[in-house]
């Protein structure tokens, strides 16, 4: 296996990595209060976003790629113009750490999850708060919109996953299966699956038609993040010392990457499935080429 490309991205823990919708930028955020943008393939630094006064735990982008959304331990959500870095809105309303943000498929709404136990919905254009969902009640760690924009999922401290209709905010289902906290939830790009990681070191894949388990993977250690490939055929999880990638047809491990550091907090796969990025406690982002493609493609 070829060694990874290593970026010295942050001076403290890397909290989140993601690829831009157009596949040209890798974004990272960290406990050094910064958001960094890196050119895909060259892996050179393009932009740095300053403004948060504490750890930046969550990043998302509108589908058009013109706005960057961030959530921080400073309790705010920021909406930045991309790539200028001008702040469009600073969204204040949470009382504790903002741990997760997501953008609706239409690009019109933001969901934020906070350690104050709330999931809030914001209007992107106006910056106004539209809904505040209270059912989780403790330490919301992860939120995501379904690809069709009809549902919002959230989870946190407690063993249940909450599913709301969107935009009404009506709670339509509580999904049980984990034993402790749920660290991460994410819909597959095709909308047919929901992935969830529990603090008890289990990754569960749910069928969104009937909410039954498709797969239940026992992890080797604590895991904090997961992501699907764009074709919804594979899922990757960040565990303490590395990354594991499963084939969702068989439920078997497809690839595994070992990192020389304890604390791999975040993982992302590029839209064209060429690159896998992992962010860790040593402030580095490691990029693996997971699929060989032609020179014209990324």
Query: Distance between CA 12 and CA 137 in Å, rounded?
Result: 30
Q: What percentage of the chain exceeds 90 in pLDDT?
A: 94
Average of pLDDT values for 83-96?
Answer: 97
pLDDT, tens digit (0-9, with 9 covering 90-100), for 46-68: 999 999 999 999 999 999 999 99
CATH assignment of 1-48+177-298? 2.130.10.10
**Could you tell me if 236 and 267 are in contact, meaning their C-beta atoms sit under 8 angstroms apart?**
yes
Query: Distance between CA 68 and CA 60 in Å, rounded?
Result: 6
Q: What percentage of the chain exceeds 70 in pLDDT?
A: 98
Residue 295, pLDDT above cutoff 70: no
Q: Write down the pLDDT at residue 199.
A: 92
104 in helix, strand or coil?
coil
Sign of the alpha-carbon dihedral angle for 264, 142, 275, 13: negative
Q: How confident is the model at residue 70 (pLDDT cuts 50, 70, 90)?
A: very high
Residue 1, pLDDT above cutoff 80: no
CA nearest neighbour of 114 among 91, 92, 90, 138: 138
pTM given for the model: 0.95
Average of pLDDT values for 95-106?
Answer: 98
Q: Where are the domains of the chain?
A: 1-48+177-298
195 in helix, strand or coil?
strand
Average of pLDDT values for 134-152?
Answer: 97
Average of pLDDT values for 269-288?
Answer: 97
C-alpha to C-alpha distances, 274 to 3, 46, 137, 179, 193, nearest whole angstrom = 15, 20, 39, 34, 22
Residue 297, pLDDT above cutoff 70: no
Average of pLDDT values for 188-198?
Answer: 97
Mean pLDDT for all residues in the chain: 96
For 221, phi and psi rounded to 5 degrees?
-160, -175
Cα dihedral: 89, 92, 96, 99 (round 10): -30
C-alpha to C-alpha distances, 169 to 74, 209, 234, 281, nearest whole angstrom = 26, 20, 30, 36
Q: Write down the pLDDT at residue 111.
A: 98
Average of pLDDT values for 86-92?
Answer: 97
Average of pLDDT values for 233-249?
Answer: 96
Average of pLDDT values for 240-245?
Answer: 95
**Could you tell me if 204 and 218 are in contact, meaning their C-beta atoms sit under 8 angstroms apart?**
no
Q: Write down the pLDDT at residue 180.
A: 84
Q: How confident is the model at residue 293 (pLDDT cuts 50, 70, 90)?
A: confident
Query: Distance between CA 205 and CA 101 in Å, rounded?
Result: 21
Residue 37's H or E segment, with its range, is: strand 35-39
Q: Write down the pLDDT at residue 292.
A: 77
């Amino acid at each position: 296996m070829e060694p990874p490309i290593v970026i010295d991205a942050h001076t403290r823990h890397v909290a989140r990595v993601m690829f831009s919708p157009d596949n040209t930028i890798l974004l990272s955020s960290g406990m050094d209060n910064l958001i960094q943008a890196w050119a895909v393939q060259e892996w050179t630094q393009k932009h740095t976003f300053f403004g948060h006064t504490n750890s930046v735990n969550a990043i998302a982008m509108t589908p058009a790629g013109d706005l960057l959304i961030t959530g921080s331990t400073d309790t705010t959500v920021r909406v930045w113009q991309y790539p200028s870095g001008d702040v469009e809105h600073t969204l204040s309303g949470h009382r504790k750490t903002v741990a997760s943000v997501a953008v609706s498929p239409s690009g019109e709404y933001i969901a934020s999850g906070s350690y104050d136990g709330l999931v809030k919905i914001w209007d992107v254009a106006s910056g106004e708060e539209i809904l505040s969902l209270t059912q989780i009640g403790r330490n919301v760690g992860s939120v995501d919109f379904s690809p069709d924009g009809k549902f919002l999922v959230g989870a946190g401290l407690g063993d249940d996953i909450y599913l709301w209709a969107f935009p009404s905010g009506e709670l339509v289902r509580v999904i049980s299966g984990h034993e402790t906290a749920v660290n991460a939830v994410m819909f597959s790009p095709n909308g047919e699956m929901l992935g969830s990681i529990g603090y008890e070191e289990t990754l569960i894949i749910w069928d969104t038609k009937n909410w039954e388990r498709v797969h239940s993977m026992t992890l080797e250690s604590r895991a904090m993040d997961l992501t699907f490939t764009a074709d919804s055929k594979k899922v990757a999880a960040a565990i303490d010392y590395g990354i594991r990638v499963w084939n969702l047809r068989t439920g078997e491990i497809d690839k595994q990457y070992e990192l020389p550091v304890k604390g791999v907090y975040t993982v992302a796969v590029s839209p064209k499935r060429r690159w896998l990025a992992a962010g860790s406690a040593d402030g580095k982002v490691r990029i693996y080429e997971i699929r060989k493609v032609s020179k014209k493609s990324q």
